[in-house]
Every structure is written in structure tokens, then in C-alpha cells.
Amino acid sequence: MTKAATAQQPVPAGEGRAPRHVAIIMDGNGRWAKKRLLPRAAGHRQGVEAARRVVRAAGDLGLEVLTLYAFSSENWRRPATEISDLMGLLRRFILNDIDELAEAGVRLRIIGDYQALEPDVVAMIDSAIARTAANTRTTLVIALNYGAQQELVRAARSLAADAAAGKLDPGAIDITDIDARLDTSDLPPLDLLIRTSGEKRLSNFLLWQAAYAELLFVDTLWPDFDRDALAEAIAHFGQRERRFGGL
């Protein structure tokens, strides 16, 4: 096998194969609130409850990794009041849930430039990461201030710096070199990417990692997503045939 070859192999349909790594674009909080004549903040609060349900279910359903798209690098364009609400929810999630996550064997990982957030949020995140670092049941990855294009730019700059320093032959750069510079380099390959709310786009999320992932777009608004919805998505994945470009 050459350096650039992939270790992923086709999985025949009908075997009920479970994904190792599932990622979710948690979309629909605002529409959930609007349908109920509630402020958007109420939708985000219910979205956090949905995240709690799904995180609890992930370990029970055998997922090694669950990645949630919590705050994109483009979300800074939203009104300041909404950003403040989202950061407040993040603080409360870490404060209120870290004990449960730790006791449940969940390891917390962050992808994205979370160091650009408010200092108290960064400190809370760093503490939570350290506290759960030895856990092995499930890894919860939260994408914060994350953008896939920005991630690829960081990887390209890292490779360019090494090439300029003579540490790397530019002509020898391949898929594995790029993969090793991504935020997800220590995680299993992405198997299944779910987007809720009926929208059918990736919104700058895990663009490289989704190259051969199965995509599933569901109409359920994120605050209504639950264990049963996740189990149904996993079952749907098990019926797909993955060829990775082969026959």
C-alpha cells in the first residue's frame, strides 16, 4: 500500500455496520422557536437540551466519536445579543455537564480556534478537556469558532512553513500529510454526517473529512432530535454500501 492509499475499505450493504464517527450540523433552533412564537434564545436553549440527549445516547449506541457543530467561524456575523446568548449557554453547558460527562467516560475535544473566545470560556474549556482526557468510552468533539476552509488554510500554512524550512519536500506532499495537519488528525475517519432541519448543505463543516462520509439530511429541527432519531440515522447508515471509489 502506498503512502497516499486509504485504509478505509468498502462495507457491503445490509450488514448493519455501525459508524465509528458521526458528526451533526445542529440546525433549526431559530425555526423551532419561530414556530412557537418564542425568541431565538429559547430555541438555542432547547438545542442544548437536544445536545445533552444525543451525547448521552452516543455511548449507549456504540459511537466512538460524536462531533457537534456548535459555533462556526461565520456565526460571528450574527447579532451581538445572539452571540452573547450562545456563549452563555456554552458556559452553562460546561459548568453543569462536565461532572456527568466525566462520570460517563466521555472525553471532550474541541476543534476550531476556540482560543479566540473570551478568556473565561477558554479557561473553562481547557479545564474540561484536561479533566476528561483519560476517558475512553466516547469522545465528544465540539466545533467552536470552526470553519473547514480556515482549517485547510492552517494546514496549508503549516506545510508551507515546513517546506520553506527544508523539513518537507513540496513535491512529496500527499493526502496523509494534509490529514495530519487537520484539527481531527487524532480522530477516526468521519463515517456519517447528519444535518437537521431539512437544509442540504455542509456550511463549511468538515469539508475534507466528509470526502467519503455518508451524508444524511433530515427534516427534524434540532431541538426535536433525540436518541431515537440518532438510532434511526445509525440504522440508515448500516444499510448503505460504501465503495470509496471502487466497485
Enumerate the active-site residues.
27, 75
The closest of 197, 188, 189 to 221, measured between CA atoms, is 197
Backbone angles phi, psi at 114, to 5 degrees: -70, -20
Q: What are 195's three cell numbers?
A: 444535518
Residue with cell 476517558: 135
- Tell me the Ramachandran region of residue 123: left when phi exceeds 0, alpha when psi lies from -120 to 50, beta otherwise: alpha
b/e per residue, 26-52, with b = 16+ CB within 10 A? Answer: bbbbbbbbeeeeeebbbbbbbbbebbe
Q: How far apart are CA 46 and CA 196, in angstroms?
A: 14
Contact 53, 68 (CB under 8 A): no
User: What number of other Cβ atoms are within 10 A of residue 142's Cβ?
Assistant: 24
